[in-house]
Structure 1
Amino acid sequence: MNLSHRLQDTATKNPDKIAYHFLNQSSTYAELNAAVSKFADGLQKLGVKKGDHVALILGNSPHFIIGMYGALRLGATVIPVNPIYTPDEIAFILNNGDVKAVITLDLLVPLAEKMNAILPKVEHFIICPTGQVNGEMDLTSLTIFPKMKSFTELLTLGDLHFESPVLDDEDVAVILYTSGTTGKPKGAMLTHRNLYSNASDVAEYLKINSDDRVITTLPMFHVFCLTVVLNAPLMAGGTLLIAPKFSPKDIFDIAKNHEATVFAGVPTMFNFLNQYEESNPEDLKTLRLCISGGASMPVALLKAFEQKFNVLVSEGYGLSEASPVTCFNPLDRPRKPGSIGTNIVNVENKVVNELGEEVPVGQVGELIVKGPNVMKGYYKLPEETAATIKEGWLYTGDLAQMDEEGYFYIVDRKKDMVIVGGYNVYPREVEEVLYSHPEVVEAAVLGVPDPNLGEAVQAFVVKKSNSLTEQELLQYCSEHLAKYKLPSVIEFIDELPKNTTGKILRRALKEAVLNK
């Protein structure tokens, strides 16, 4: 069984059940399943076949769901990409991921045109209409015009009775690119078994069912949303309440108008909802569960939100390499604020020392994970894979401890990683951009507390001359990095603190920031 086949089964058993609401439109499971089959056939007619790689550069929309499930039904591998990435970042993923077809918005056609020359493997750009494009754009003048196809036409011309090829559970279904400590993203290969098992186990653990109406405002290209807010509810036959973007007003309106039962978000979202001056707790009265992930939620915020809106918030933990969920606070036992909860169904977490031996209760060690959700490996990186997966155990790099009741607590995150509004930022990636500027001698990047985003990126730079300004360097960074990766502050200093071997002492920099 896989996600595409499960959708087909649900459509057969409950054809008239609403699968999703999006703005002023909705779709039944029968309609969604038909669109998925037609799109799969449309892709096949373009020459896309089982094993080919298809990128989705899309925001939250039905296009994303139909595009992903259609590609999966065909047996293609899906590569979701953040649409706010810079051309450099997108081009790296598309080239490294050997992408054959790209599904993207008409708003991004100029971006596709700009990147076309450096994307020799991309044969098709499948364009989704937004209704926001200026009609004066002369598409025929673009060099990518011969490669451009219409998402709508593929649906129209596709055969409703498309027959999916035989799919093996160990076939790679999705490659999720996650920033690596080397500064370049790594593609985590998730199989059909990985995704199906984790969505099924999350649905069982959190009791997600066909009566649930789940607010889908987390970005669909992010693994948190992909499994917990998209695949799990669809697998259970629930209804997605799709929000194109996060807005406190929109979330309250959607919850009230559609009697939402589940909301999932990163702590930043909960903070904005809690602080929204026009909020009315009555608008969220139908919620039975809120889910928090992506970063640790401050206990004070968790308690304030629960008290204000009278709803349980369950914190969990996951990582792309685990599809992603390994832990959640259980619903049938006491929830422990500050904890990431206990093992979900079929997944085992363990805290070990440097020798891989399990440490005693309460002792800090590295969190490792085992289960059907653990990735196949990193795409084209066998050495990285071998260093991360040992004897079936995924080494997360996160420091944790377990209490006597089996609840886990994250003590520290992967070394030096910064989490900005739920998104992972690796300092090395930002530092490489800073170092590429001709006026920069040295640079160090770290995370600092931020009241709205949880953490923000701060850079310390040693420059060659006084002519370089903070604004100039920020502008340079914005040309190479996504907005959430940009430093909020760039502080120029005469020298970076180092140890006797010349290694930069980040801890000394962080202490200096916190002591100001």
Structure 2
Amino acid sequence: MLDLGTSLLAAIERDPHALAITDGALELTYREWFARVSAAVSALDDMGLKPGDHLLTLMQNRWENATLHWACQLAGIIVTPVNWRSKPDELAYMLTDSEAKALVYEAASAEAVGATEEALSLPRLIAGEASDGARSLTDLLGLAADEAQPRAKADDWSLMLYTSGTTSAPKGVPRRHQAERAAAVAHVAQNLYGRGERTLGVMPLYHTMGVRSLLATALIGGTFVCLPRFSVPVALAAIEARKVTNLYLVPTLYHDIVHDEAFSRKQVASVKKLGFAGASMTDGLMKKLNAEFEPDLFVNHYGSSEIYTFTIDQTAAVKPGSAGRSGLNQMIRVIPLDATDPDGRAQPGEEGQIIALLDGDEAFEGYWKRPEATQKALRKGWYFTGDTGFYDEDGDLFVTGRVDDMIITGGENVSPVEVESCLSLHPGVLEVAVVGLPDERWGKVVTAFVKRSGNVSETDLDRHCRASGLANFRRPRGYVFVEEIPKSPVGKLLRRLLVSGDYTPERGMAPAQNELS
């Protein structure tokens, strides 16, 4: 298999004059972009970086970030992107853990960098103007340099992503060139991308979805439309101006787009393919997206940083909630919830834990310097995802949540996702999240946190759940109306904050639940 550096050279040879990347007014063809990538490789050489070194980056989705990602692939350097919002203690941890040899950041992260001793001891580049001992990456990218040649092979390390670390310290997920390229090729095939498509580059390049969009776009000679920071008006303007043909976003961003008063079908008329990942999509949102975009293709992609693709459903709106079937490079099983051996199988309709084959081309090989986490997750050639789900009678997978999110109430298992999808279909519900709150009698009580879009009461919502056919033990016994549903920077629902009480009740309402019989 090709390494990623050679893959970029092949893309440049195929489509030298095609538009490769835009960032605001900036436009670069593949040939023009390669000159900037080569300059970045020269800059990394000047910093003393060698193949196999880690380069930690803290940048938004600006063109310099995308350029640096490709430069690392050519130079054989392990790009290690982290959230540009990282706090000093988080930055210090990841710099130390990754054994980073240098750091690249931007003005938005400068305060955290300046407060981190581990960062100040390293060679540094900054996107934009030089500052505080860091040279300007932007200036360096404009210098003349010899055309870069690939220094890595397919089995060398390409990048290391950090998991979100919602329950423990973030874990590094190192991935090889061959796994990254296999994932990009699969992304092209599974989303039916054609040559020259244009994608909105808004998913962060420290997230597997953002990286996949970047790599896949180059493989088809397409255009990566940088959107450094998400806002609905800016996103809609970019989609319309750049004639974006496909979107690959988390459900939260889709929700914000179609519910914004600025949204119009005219602005998104060029978009023919929708894809989502990162979280389950409620039935209500899926229905609205299908009506507003009328896409030719609507893909639910279920995967992770560790193994990019688990399953794919290319007709997501036909069977809402279905994650489909195993991707091109994968096999998936559902085993009993308490099983530790991959050979057991849950029956159709029986909720269990989802595991994925490690022999797949897109798979990682274990966590960085975390043998205990690797041993827990990787067993007998299978990756235990920590997700729960079931196969229906047709053989389609339904993902119901995380093992840790399962609500056990009165001895019954309740999936938050099922209850959320039910409530999302009520017109008075804008967003909803369901958790189990401690209860002396039941162990946990099913509680719904709702952001309202109208004058809807808990009695109305309870009546809706009863009429929908939702099983009695799954009905929420408490409702809390909130200003916002807490989410991570990439749109993942943060249920733990709701459980801990870290949320803002709707104005005029007490932070308590009204139990329903």
Q: Which category describes the TM-score, using the shorter chain as reference length?
A: 0.7 to 0.9
* Partners of 1:374 and 1:514 in 2: CA distance: 46
Alpha-carbon offset, residue 374 of structure 1: 1.2
* Partners of 2:320 and 2:378 in 1: CA distance: 30
Q: State the AA in 2 paired with 1:377.
A: G
Q: Which moved more, 1:62-71 or 1:404-413?
A: 404-413
Q: Is 1:105 aligned to 2:98, yes or no?
A: no
Across the aligned residues of Structure 1 and Structure 2, the Cα RMSD in angstroms comes to 3.0
Matches within 5 A, 1:129-168: 129=128, 139=131, 142=132, 145=133, 148-157=134-143, 159-165=145-151, 167-168=152-153
2:354 pairs, out of 367, 372, 378, with: 367
Deviations 1:19-53 (A, max 9, x none): 11210111111112222122112211221000100
Q: Which residue of 2 aligns with 1:79?
A: 80
State whether residues 3 and 235 of structure 1, in contact with CA within 8 Å, keep that contact through their aligned partners in structure 2.
no
Q: Which moved more, 1:372-381 or 1:254-263?
A: 254-263
* Partners of 2:386 and 2:80 in 1: CA distance: 24
Q: Is 1:415 aligned to 2:404, yes or no?
A: yes
1:358 pairs, out of 331, 334, 345, with: 345
Q: Which residue of 1 aligns with 2:330?
A: 347
* Partners of 1:220 and 1:339 in 2: CA distance: 27
Q: Which moved more, 1:388-397 or 1:358-367?
A: 358-367
Q: Which residue of 1 aligns with 2:289?
A: 305
* Partners of 1:284 and 1:302 in 2: CA distance: 16
State whether residues 180 and 186 of structure 1, in contact with CA within 8 Å, keep that contact through their aligned partners in structure 2.
yes
Change (3 A) 1:271 1:483: closer
Change (3 A) 1:382 1:448: farther
State whether residues 42 and 157 of structure 1, in contact with CA within 8 Å, keep that contact through their aligned partners in structure 2.
no
Q: Which residue of 2 aligns with 1:293?
A: 277
Residue 301 of structure 2 aligns to a residue whose secondary structure is strand
Change (3 A) 1:277 1:346: same
Q: Which residue of 2 aligns with 1:261?
A: 245
2:199 pairs, out of 210, 214, 231, with: 214
Matches within 5 A, 1:327-346: 327-330=311-314, 335-346=318-329
1:179 pairs, out of 149, 160, 164, with: 164
Q: Is 1:226 aligned to 2:226, yes or no?
A: no
Change (3 A) 1:390 1:89: same
Pick 1 or 2: higher relative contact order, CA cutoff 8 A, min separation 6.
Answer: 1
* Partners of 2:250 and 2:276 in 1: CA distance: 5
Alpha-carbon offset, residue 175 of structure 1: 1.0
Seq. identity, %: 25
* Partners of 2:450 and 2:78 in 1: CA distance: 37
Q: State the AA in 2 paired with 1:267.
A: P
* Partners of 2:515 and 2:31 in 1: CA distance: 59
Alpha-carbon offset, residue 314 of structure 1: 2.0
2:390 pairs, out of 395, 401, 410, with: 401
Residue 146 of structure 2 aligns to a residue whose secondary structure is coil
Q: State the AA in 2 paired with 1:363.
A: E
* Partners of 1:49 and 1:223 in 2: CA distance: 24
Residue 310 of structure 2 aligns to a residue whose secondary structure is strand
* Partners of 2:166 and 2:126 in 1: CA distance: 34
Query: TM-score, normalization: structure 1?
Result: 0.76
Matches within 5 A, 1:48-127: 48-115=49-116, 117-119=117-119, 123-127=122-126
State whether residues 365 and 400 of structure 1, in contact with CA within 8 Å, keep that contact through their aligned partners in structure 2.
yes
Deviations 1:81-102 (A, max 9, x none): 1011211111111111111111
* Partners of 2:108 and 2:14 in 1: CA distance: 37
Alpha-carbon offset, residue 261 of structure 1: 1.0
Query: TM-score, normalization: structure 2?
Result: 0.76
* Partners of 2:317 and 2:500 in 1: CA distance: 44
State whether residues 278 and 492 of structure 2, in contact with CA within 8 Å, keep that contact through their aligned partners in structure 1.
no
* Partners of 2:236 and 2:182 in 1: CA distance: 32
State whether residues 202 and 345 of structure 1, in contact with CA within 8 Å, keep that contact through their aligned partners in structure 2.
no
Q: Is 1:387 aligned to 2:376, yes or no?
A: yes
Residue 216 of structure 2 aligns to a residue whose secondary structure is helix
* Partners of 2:261 and 2:124 in 1: CA distance: 43
Deviations 1:456-485 (A, max 9, x none): xxxxxxxxxxxxxxxxxxxxxxxxxx9997
Q: State the AA in 2 paired with 1:171.
A: D
Alpha-carbon offset, residue 125 of structure 1: 0.8
* Partners of 1:339 and 1:180 in 2: CA distance: 27
Change (3 A) 1:22 1:393: same
Q: Which residue of 2 aligns with 1:40?
A: 41
Q: Is 1:317 aligned to 2:316, yes or no?
A: no
Q: State the AA in 2 paired with 1:112.
A: V
State whether residues 279 and 492 of structure 2, in contact with CA within 8 Å, keep that contact through their aligned partners in structure 1.
no
Q: Is 1:4 aligned to 2:2, yes or no?
A: no
Deviations 1:415-460 (A, max 9, x none): 14999xxxxxxx9xxxxxxxxxxxxxxxx9x9964549xxxxxxxx
Q: State the AA in 2 paired with 1:67.
A: L
Alpha-carbon offset, residue 241 of structure 1: 1.7
Change (3 A) 1:411 1:164: same
Deviations 1:373-412 (A, max 9, x none): 1112111112221221223311101111112333211122
1:277 pairs, out of 261, 280, 290, with: 261
State whether residues 74 and 148 of structure 2, in contact with CA within 8 Å, keep that contact through their aligned partners in structure 1.
no
Deviations 1:302-347 (A, max 9, x none): 112211232253222111111x22222125x984211112222121
Q: Which moved more, 1:339-348 or 1:104-113?
A: 104-113
* Partners of 1:447 and 1:198 in 2: CA distance: 38
Q: Structure 2: 5+ residue runs without aligned partners?
A: 407-415, 418-434, 436-443, 453-490, 503-511
Q: Which residue of 2 aligns with 1:432?
A: none
Change (3 A) 1:274 1:404: same
Deviations 1:274-318 (A, max 9, x none): 212232112212211111111111111111221123225322211
* Partners of 2:332 and 2:320 in 1: CA distance: 19
* Partners of 2:147 and 2:106 in 1: CA distance: 27
* Partners of 1:448 and 1:184 in 2: CA distance: 28
Change (3 A) 1:346 1:81: same
* Partners of 2:364 and 2:447 in 1: CA distance: 28
State whether residues 55 and 94 of structure 1, in contact with CA within 8 Å, keep that contact through their aligned partners in structure 2.
yes
State whether residues 56 and 67 of structure 1, in contact with CA within 8 Å, keep that contact through their aligned partners in structure 2.
no
Change (3 A) 1:41 1:401: same
Alpha-carbon offset, residue 111 of structure 1: 2.6
State whether residues 160 and 172 of structure 2, in contact with CA within 8 Å, keep that contact through their aligned partners in structure 1.
yes
Change (3 A) 1:263 1:491: closer
Change (3 A) 1:164 1:244: same
